[in-house]
Structure 1
Amino acid sequence: MDDRTNTIAGWALAGGILALGLSIATGMIFHSEHPEKPGYPVEGAEEAATGAAEVPIATLLATADPVHGAELFKKCASCHTITQGGANGIGPNLWGTMGEEIGKGKGGFAFSAALSGHGGKWDFETMNAWLTKPSKFAPGTLMTFAGLPNPKDRADIMVYINQQGSPIPLPAAPAAAPAAAGNEAEANAAAPENGAVEGNAAEPKAAH
């Protein structure tokens, strides 16, 4: 009886181990096929979410806040002065910068070749590009400032800088898109009347 009991117990134990192994294997298979996030990816959805058109800088300049720009400029004060006759520091004095040639003047400040050889003048377009990312505007520049990603901040600080010794005219804001109602009215005016479209119907039918 003891041998028979041991045999039955052995088979029961083996069966339990086999069942446990199958359970673990099945769980691993189904887990590996289960997506980390439910649902199906939609191609282009992420690009559409992040590809919203940025407001033109000229539009933001029209309502820019120079007081906020002065606050933002405090981040630049460790390297730049912006007072008339102010001394150059790590960076040049920025009094009267707007409208000047890029990388020139400033009391003999030693500009990097990336700026001194850039060409052009500091207008709102070039200054906006510079403030967005200096290293992209002038590859090789010694300027370590990463840039201002917020276009409103750039507009505010540009208007403030423009007030310091070299006011140049703000660019004209782009015209707003015409209202949808106006477009519909123009389309209706251009469309021919029903009678003109159905001109063939007015002709007599040929006898058969």
Structure 2
Amino acid sequence: MSNKIVKEILDWIYAIVLALIIAMVIHIFLIQPTRVSGESMEDTLHNGQYLIVTKWHHIMNEMPNYGQIVIIDSRVNRARTWVDDVEEPLMNYASVFNKAAQTNDVWVKRVIGRPGDVLEFKDGYVWRNGEQLQEPYTKDTKMNYTRSTSVTVPEGHVFVMGDNRNHSSDSRFIGPVPVDHVLGFVSYAI
């Protein structure tokens, strides 16, 4: 082969590798497509529905607002590392095309409590700081869950729940979620 052909091939390889690196940086740190798995957010989000998640909130360690739909790492009993921030988007990307690659550690939920909030679960409803929440987005009007003691959300944490309260694993079972386990905010549902 002539030097001109070799140079052309190397230029193409360089362009493809550079494009892949840029795409991965965007996917890991800025935006990420993902897919809903399960019924815990019905009727707001449905099983198999695609989501666009903005990731810069996670990088900036931003505290989500009440009602914000977020993606969380449910493994709240372990510290997150930069390896998690690189590995999870890659696994998530693979799971969009191959359901067998999907993990059960990343959940989509709604923020119900922020630091300092006192949450109670009584009469089938959620109470925050002594006031019953008005939650038109929940699937059932009442949930089949009560708790005899209140939960105070610690500093640097959020309390999340699924909209389909009677069919959701969430902070009621894993506890408040550290803000560094909030992986991104759902921006669009497709």
What's the TM-score, normalizing by structure 2? Answer: 0.24
What's the TM-score, normalizing by structure 1? Answer: 0.23
Q: Is the helix fraction higher in 1 or 2? A: 1
Q: Which has the higher contact order (CA 8 A, sep 6+)?
A: 2
Q: Is the strand fraction higher in 1 or 2? A: 2
